[in-house]
Amino acid sequence: MDERVPRISSMQKGRITKYQPCPQIHLPDRQWPSRTITTAPTWCSVDLRDGNQALAIPMGIDEKLAMFQLLVQLGFKEIEVGFPSASQIEFDFIRRLIEENHIPEDVTIQVLVQAREELIRRTFESLHGAHRAIVHLYNSTSPLQRRVVFGLDKPEIIAIATRGTQLVKELLPTLPGTEVTFEYSPESFSLTEIEFSLEICEAVVDVWQPTPEHKIILNLPATVEISTPNVHADQIEWFCRHLRNRETAIISLHTHNDRGTGVAATELGLLAGADRVEGTLFGNGERTGNVDIVTLALNMYTQGVDPFLDFSEIDAVRAVYEKCTRLEVPIRQPYAGELVFTAFSGSHQDAINKGMAAQDPEPGALWQIPYLPIDPKDLGRSYEAIIRINSQSGKGGVAYVLESEYGYQLPKAMRIEFGKIINRLADETGEEILNRQILETFEHEYLKPRGPFQILSFRTVQEVDLLNHETVECVARVSHEGQIHELRARGNGPIDAFTRALNQTKLVQFTVRSYSEHALSQGAEARAAAYIEIQNDKGESYFGAATETNIELTSIKALVSAVNRSVRATRKETDSTYDKISV
């Protein structure tokens, strides 16, 4: 047995008594399953507080300022900037934002505070001079917190919340010129009896006395995610349906990701009636993190809903985030990860390649590309990284790289041939094959003269007989293993004539099966690419390729390339491609 694997399991088997399922909500006529998200919620970033407290090395003031400016650029209108009563750096950062006029007129800062008198007063001191602010008050409400942490019963927990609310209300005159919105969170809402959550929130509402014009924010945090997303949705819908004077409240979600379903729980919570979402960029937060607002917003975008957040330069967003937080966005993170728009699988590559060719190029046209639910260009990503090559890749991916990066449009059958060459290279190296290596392999295999035949000179003369039939005579000098041969033959075109001339030497016997060409560039000195497939006297097919400014010479060089590849294969001169290219 592997010594790293424990010999005795500590997990319970059979009937699990250590854990119990989350209580279900009785809601037989639930409405959220039949709803659709059609508008974006109000977004509130909590990167600067909830996200920051989860960092091994918290952000300094300069880093927090850079993050704040990024959030503003992305379009956040509500940003939680700190817990000013928790530390001096938190307090100082908020003062710097206000005093140095970093807060745009249309952005509301949010500050977090526990329902304790001295902390509330310190919080108000931090807000002097702000145009608008959300004061976010919270206290823990779950049975476990009531019993283990506070040793208080329900009325005493309610009293903490209402006293804190009353003090916030009394302190409003100390902030002249500041538009204050009040937010209350029954912390651990997800673990609190639903009836008690409603009771304490309504007690707070009774003290605050909101109106439809000046609403209260009731934030219902899944501080610890303990249920499947559908149960969370039931909790939110039940709360919204039973709350008195619902029109005076903004229902806000603050979902954590302990079960790995924070995004799903938030989406279902919005279907259930919530209006607002608190979360972080890329899901940074305690334990497994807060809900990822980037994923949420772009999920909506792919469904045709404007999220009112701009992630059109997602790599730049990721760079600022990683610099400020010292965290790395995983390579498979939805939308932002390095590899999320990359296909290694051969069948995926082939489908993407064909989808790209068929996609309507008109701006705003319906996006329909297999395996790509969003256009990478919408996020500032380029197509060059969509298809990358390893041993799992196929002909479609290799062809896509050659065409999209270097302009080579390989015939379908040639894609199969060259795809096998690249697969062999990937097997030899055991590594991903870079685009540059694909090009070098293509040049080494097809474009660089290797083999017994070398074309030294070539010219053609067109002739017309008495019946007005056009023929072409080719005159060529060819080197075969160092010996010079003067060749001359007639055909219906340059390729046919040169094929007849080579076959007359008896040095090689073949027929031409296919030919294609295309321009590689524009202008007077435009280069062309030609591809020729031949079949040798053993019935085996081989491709050749060449590039030149003279299309006639290009086709002849492509023919020589194919002949040389056929001869080398017959002689089993199958050297390692890996040894011929830079790695």
Task: Please give the helix or strand (H or E) that residue 496 lies within, else none.
Answer: helix 494-504
Say if residue 290 carries a ligand binding annotation: yes
Q: Report residue 266 as tokens.
A: 């938030």
How many Å apart are CA 230 and CA 264, to the nearest integer? Answer: 9
Q: How far is CA 249 from the centre of its chain?
A: 35
Partnered with residue 112 across adjacent β-strands are 136
Q: Report residue 51 as tokens.
A: 């996200």
Q: Exposure of 538 by Cβ count < 10 A (0-12 exposed, 13-18 middle, 19+ buried)?
A: exposed
Partnered with residue 111 across adjacent β-strands are 82, 135
How many other C-beta atoms lie within 10 A of the C-beta of residue 129?
A: 15
Q: How far is CA 566 from the centre of its chain?
A: 44
Buried-state track 137-158, b at ≥16 Cβ within 10 A, e below 16: bbbbbbeebbeeeeebeeeebb
531 close to 545: Cβ distance less than 8 angstroms = yes
How many Å apart are CA 564 and CA 559, to the nearest integer? Answer: 9
Say if residue 496 carries a ligand binding annotation: no
How many other C-beta atoms lie within 10 A of the C-beta of residue 212?
A: 10
Selection from 434, 407, 240, 224 nearest residue 344 by Cα:
434
First vs last C-alpha separation in the chain: 39
Q: How far is the CA of 1 from the CAs of 5, 8, 9, in angstroms?
A: 7, 12, 14
Residue found by looking up tokens 């005093």 in the block: 99
Say if residue 206 carries a ligand binding annotation: no
How many other C-beta atoms lie within 10 A of the C-beta of residue 481?
A: 9
Selection from 39, 119, 50, 121 nearest residue 81 by Cα:
50
How many Å apart are CA 82 and CA 92, to the nearest integer? Answer: 10
Total number of residues shown for the chain:
583
Q: Report residue 577 as tokens.
A: 């491609």
Say if residue 353 carries a ligand binding annotation: no
Range 314-318 contact pairs with CB under 8 angstroms and sequence separation of 24 or more = 314/379, 314/380, 314/381, 315/380, 315/381, 316/380, 317/70, 317/74, 317/281, 318/282
- Residues making up the binding site: 50, 254, 256, 290
- Residues making up the binding site for Mg(2+): 50, 254, 256, 290
